[in-house]
Amino acid sequence: MTNQEIAAVFEQVADLLEYQSANPFRVRAYRNGAKKIGELAEPLAAIHGDAARRLTELEGIGKDLAEKIATLLATGTLPMLVELQAQIPAGVLTLSRVPGVGPKKAAALHKELGISSLAELRAACEEQRVRGLKGFGAKTEETILKGLAVAEEAGVRMRWADAERVVDALLEHMRGEPAIKQLEIAGSFRRGRETIGDLDLLVDATDVPAAMDRFGAFPQVQETLARGDTKMTVRLASGLQVDLRVVPAESFGAALQYFTGSKDHNVIVRGRAKQQGLKVSDWGVFRIEAAEGESKETYIAGRTEEEVYAAVGLPWFPPEMREAREEFNWAAAGALPTLVTLEDIRGDLHMHTTASDGQDSIEAMVAAARARGLSYVAITDHSKRVSMARGLDGDRLRRQWREVDQVNRQSDDVEVLKGIECDILEKGGMDLPDDVLAEADWVIASVHYGQNQSRQQITERILEALENPHVDMLAHPTGRLINRREPYDVDLDRVMAAAVKHRKLLELNANPARLDLNDVYCAAAKRLGIPIVINTDAHHTDGMDVMRFGVLQARRGGLTAANVANTRPFAEFRQLIGGE
């Protein structure tokens, strides 16, 4: 078993234990172990096989986990996981994703009312059977009904970053089969959509049954739903479905193009082909010729995507663009934008330290930025309104800025800006006085409270903040948490117009749970000339690794490096925000 596969097993154990309300330390031990194993460069099998070494020498691996790793390496399964899975029906886990339910309530709903799916939960709430349970009430029932709308989405659509962990493990597992020559994940995952309905795996193999057997043996597979000559579908323990298609090499590019989608993009590609007497299918591009009253199809392309697009007179499109939005207009003009990449990013302008709710010091965050090749950062802890996070008042903030100055003087390769993430108060106005904000290099305005206000009220608050001359950027402009919390009811068109008028920047928050602005509004910002800043909002040094998720979303919005402010060299960025 590979490290990724072992890590996936421990992740599942942690999920299931959490559901059972097991000791949180135990849950964390598995989660932590999974993370450490996932990051390990050396195969666990090699360490275990070396008589001179012990698995327990690894950080995060105690005696218990070491034994379980040994079992997994020897047998490929873990009796504990099998047992846990037997105790908990797959559908019940999804109940705990409903806001207001949680693992404990999910267990009660299952035990007392036999509920094991979202549909059953909805029915029970509507029939008012839930309010009678101990620890529930009419109010809880109402909350659950509201949360169900969110969770019904969440139950079927997984966040991209979560899907990626599955994808990494799956690809590594499949690479173990020598008959597999080419391997790609297609579908919405390849297009970088913020959530994924199911995974679409495409394989070119010399031995189809061997490839399918390998697929079925992926440790996360819970059930094989269908297996045919070229197609197979499985459901993973997490509930995620994976479709496999095995195709010959001469069709691999065509199938990849077809199954990457989007459907709307493909409809246009096929339409264009038809006009040229061609047919595009998942098997290839064919020339259609009428011969003796019959039409004959001749294969002309299909090995690679480039070949397929070229055959119909189109450029190869980065998958993130394939949504039938602007890409065909760009192609007609002969100018696809060169999408921003992670390597283009030079600064990170939103991060927290131990001064508020971060876990690391200013120095540690700057060192982490240096290690990631960044050349500037802004330290932006919370302001005092966020009392839960020990937000800073003017005095504490000024003291922190002296520290920032000191760190900045000692750092000759990373510039450190004195910043603040200042709350926009519920009643309107900024949480810190203008004379304090005036001393900052970089001011972020954020809404954290009063998210349920009316559209009028919340929009006005934000517009007022954007009028403040000290404010540089609006953070996470809609406040949504994917699958968890709806965006607040803000009129983004007015916000964008104000950003143009007052020359403010808008954030694309790279946290995989946030990712707002979304792709459509990133594209709107580009049209309006509003610079986007992609920030990690890191609360610890590892939190800086999420930058790439933000970059992916920006690419879906069609943004180039020029559209993203923090791709600029520091001096230019500083100029943009009105600094000297």
Residue nearest to Zn ion (CB): 537
Classified as helix, coil or strand, 127 is: coil
Decide: is 305 part of the binding site for ligand DGT (CB under 6 A).
Answer: no
Decide: is 198 part of the binding site for Ca ion (CB under 5 A).
Answer: yes
By C-beta, is 31 or 193 nearer to ligand DGT?
193
By C-beta, is 461 or 555 nearer to ligand DGT?
555
Instruction: Report d(CA 215, CA 207) in Å as an integer.
Output: 13
Find out whether 509 and 515 touch, Cβ atoms under 8 Å: yes
DSSP state at residue 207: -
Distances (CA, A) of 504 to 177, 241, 462, 474, 499: 53, 42, 12, 8, 5
Which of 116, 121, 119 is CA-nearest to residue 100? 121
Nearest distance in Å: CB 259, Ca ion: 8
- Provide the residue type at 416 as one letter: V
Nearest distance in Å: CB 484, Zn ion: 17
Nearest distance in Å: CB 241, Ca ion: 7
Nearest distance in Å: CB 546, ligand DGT: 21
- Provide the residue type at 1 as one letter: M
Choices 52-60, 140-148, 208-216, 258-266 (CB under 6 A): range interacting with ligand DGT: 258-266
By C-beta, is 302 or 479 nearer to Zn ion?
479
One of 204, 421, 516, 519 touching Zn ion (CB under 5 A): 421
Structure tokens at 518: 């979304």
One of 117, 140, 143, 262 touching ligand DGT (CB under 6 A): 262
Nearest distance in Å: CB 76, Zn ion: 43
418 beta partners: 379
Instruction: Report d(CA 51, CA 560) in Å as an integer.
Output: 53
The binder of 327, among ligand DGT, Zn ion, Ca ion, none, by C-beta within 5 to 8 A per type, is: none
196 beta partners: 158
Structure tokens at 132: 């009678």
By C-beta, is 67 or 264 nearer to ligand DGT?
264
By C-beta, is 200 or 431 nearer to ligand DGT?
200
Instruction: Report d(CA 254, CA 339) in Å as an integer.
Output: 24
The binder of 19, among Ca ion, ligand DGT, Zn ion, none, by C-beta within 5 to 8 A per type, is: none
Decide: is 164 part of the binding site for ligand DGT (CB under 6 A).
Answer: no
What secondary structure does DSSP assign to 15-83, as a single string?
Answer: HHHHHTT--HHHHHHHHHHHHHHHH-SS-HHHHHH-TT--GGGSTT--HHHHHHHHHHHHHS--HHHHH
> For ligand DGT, how many residues bind (rule: CB under 6 A)?
13
Choices 99-107, 193-201, 343-351, 454-462 (CB under 6 A): range interacting with ligand DGT: 193-201
DSSP state at residue 564: B
The binder of 110, among Zn ion, ligand DGT, Ca ion, none, by C-beta within 5 to 8 A per type, is: none
One of 4, 94, 96, 266 touching ligand DGT (CB under 6 A): 266
Q: Quick one: residue 277, left, alpha or beta (phi over 0 = left, psi -120 to 50 = alpha)?
A: left
Structure tokens at 206: 């010399």
By C-beta, is 151 or 475 nearer to ligand DGT?
151
By C-beta, is 344 or 537 nearer to Zn ion?
537
Looking at residues 212 to 251 of the shown chain, list those that interact with Ca ion (rule: CB under 5 A).
Answer: 243
Kindly give, in sequence order, each residue whose CB lies less than 8 Å from that of residue 86, ignoring residues fewer than 6 positions away.
none
One of 184, 198, 307, 421 touching ligand DGT (CB under 6 A): 198
Kindly give, in sequence order, each residue whose CB lies less than 8 Å from that of residue 484, ignoring residues fewer than 6 positions away.
99, 150, 154, 513
Instruction: Report d(CA 459, CA 128) in Å as an integer.
Output: 36
Decide: is 263 part of the binding site for ligand DGT (CB under 6 A).
Answer: yes
Instruction: Report d(CA 453, CA 386) in Å as an integer.
Output: 18
Nearest distance in Å: CB 179, Ca ion: 23
Decide: is 187 part of the binding site for ligand DGT (CB under 6 A).
Answer: yes
Choices 33-41, 127-135, 146-154, 257-265 (CB under 6 A): range interacting with ligand DGT: 257-265
Decide: is 15 part of the binding site for ligand DGT (CB under 6 A).
Answer: no
Looking at residues 535 to 574 of the shown chain, list those that interact with Zn ion (rule: CB under 5 A).
Answer: 537
Nearest distance in Å: CB 251, Ca ion: 18
Find out whether 309 and 316 touch, Cβ atoms under 8 Å: yes
Instruction: Report d(CA 72, CA 1) in Å as an integer.
Output: 7
DSSP state at residue 486: P
Structure tokens at 398: 């000024």
By C-beta, is 184 or 507 nearer to Zn ion?
507
Beta strands in 357-399 (DSSP E): 376-379
Which of 426, 369, 429, 432 is CA-nearest to residue 397? 432
The binder of 537, among ligand DGT, Zn ion, Ca ion, none, by C-beta within 5 to 8 A per type, is: Zn ion
One of 18, 141, 177, 200 touching Ca ion (CB under 5 A): 200
Find out whether 335 and 428 touch, Cβ atoms under 8 Å: no
Looking at residues 167 to 196 of the shown chain, list those that interact with Ca ion (rule: CB under 5 A).
Answer: 187-188
Beta strands in 428-542 (DSSP E): 442-446, 473-474, 505-509, 532-535
Which of 419, 406, 416 is CA-nearest to residue 370? 416
Which of 152, 171, 114 is CA-nearest to residue 239? 152
By C-beta, is 163 or 414 nearer to Ca ion?
163
Choices 126-134, 327-335, 484-492, 534-542 (CB under 5 A): range interacting with Zn ion: 534-542
By C-beta, is 187 or 419 nearer to ligand DGT?
187
The binder of 262, among ligand DGT, Ca ion, Zn ion, none, by C-beta within 5 to 8 A per type, is: ligand DGT
Please give the residue ranges that form the binding site for ligand DGT (CB under 6 A).
187-188, 193, 196-198, 200, 258-259, 261-263, 266
Please give the residue ranges that form the binding site for Zn ion (CB under 5 A).
421, 537
Please give the residue ranges that form the binding site for Ca ion (CB under 5 A).
187-188, 198, 200, 243
